Amino acid sequence: MMANLLALKAFDVLNSTVTLWVFKRSTRAGKIVYTGRWVETSELLDAKIKENVNAAVQSVEEIREYSLLAENNETSVLSIPADETHAGQLIQECVARDEKKVKKLKDIQNAHFYAIRLTLDDQNSLYAVKSTDDSWKLKKLAGAYRAVFKDNALDIDNTPTFNISKSIDFFIFDGDVIAKQKNKTESILSYKEAHKEDFGLLKLEPKFSSLFSSMDEIDAYVGNNKIQLRRASAIKQKAHYNNDVYIQNIRNNAVEMQLLIDFDLNGKIVPSAESCKYIFLALLNHRLFSRFSGEYYDVQNIENI
């Protein structure tokens, strides 16, 4: 079930309480770890934050179901259950204990992202998450001084500044992750690492690996490319390779469907640098035929009717 658009837009952002959390991300024993700290904010900043978050929420006109290859536009978002992501770790960190308060500059510098927690009645919460820009990185100005104009004059200003963006990458609300910027959402929630793990598991599945005369070209094609890793995850998720009839249909129809896929005498697919693209199209079921135009098309995603 997808997120509830009406409930999201009904959340009273402007009358909520703001807590700004800054997060750093690390890896321990091969697992992603999020470390969050909360920082005090002024009433003026809180008001501006709520104004921006409310605008981001109200701009949403459609919620679509998240899939590995789904895309959204300026007024739509993608929804996925939070328990299928690392979002729960973020929420668990957002408990405003004194020891988690930002008390020195290094606590906030080099943060990977920040989460704005908006709370009503100490119960109902909306989280708005955004990746940080270069202003959050520890750096020194090279060959220049920072100057500020005040009292009709320029003066030296060494005060650290941090940009709070007007845009939001994703929300966490009522048990769902609601993505406005899919790539940024996947990056913050470490989806690329999950895709790598999926590809590793996919290669270990006998029904998949036995389709090919060799896995070398498939390995080279996917590599560390986030798009191909995402497609490999989608292949694992769809699991058409487990369907013997589906695979035989690829063998029988590859030429007619203009898929440049070679087979050896045993019916195994012979991957090459040129054919891997078509192999993935076939295993994703993304080469489609139009009965209207009589032409074949490659698509990024499909929705069953």
Phi, psi of 83 (to 5 degrees): -75, -5
Mean pLDDT of the 283-293 span: 94
What percentage of the chain carries pLDDT values higher than 90? 70
Helix axes 226-238, 276-284, angle to 10 degrees: 40
Task: State pLDDT tens for residues 178-200.
Answer: 999 999 999 998 887 778 888 99
pTM: 0.76
What would you report as the CA-atom Rg of the chain, rounded to the nearest whole angstrom? Answer: 24
Q: Are 78 and 65 in contact (CB under 8 A)?
A: yes
Axis-axis angle for helices 191-204, 226-238 (nearest 10):
50
CB-side neighbour CA atoms (13 Å) of 116: 30
Q: How confident is the model at residue 104 (pLDDT cuts 50, 70, 90)?
A: very high
Q: 135-189: per-residue pLDDT in tens?
A: 898 775 566 777 877 787 888 888 888 999 999 999 999 999 999 999 999 999 8
Phi, then psi, of 205 in degrees rounded to 5: -75, 120
Q: How many separate helices (H) and strands (E) can be counted in the chain?
A: 10, 14
Mean pLDDT over the full length of the chain:
91
What integer pLDDT is reported at residue 140 of this predicted model?
A: 59
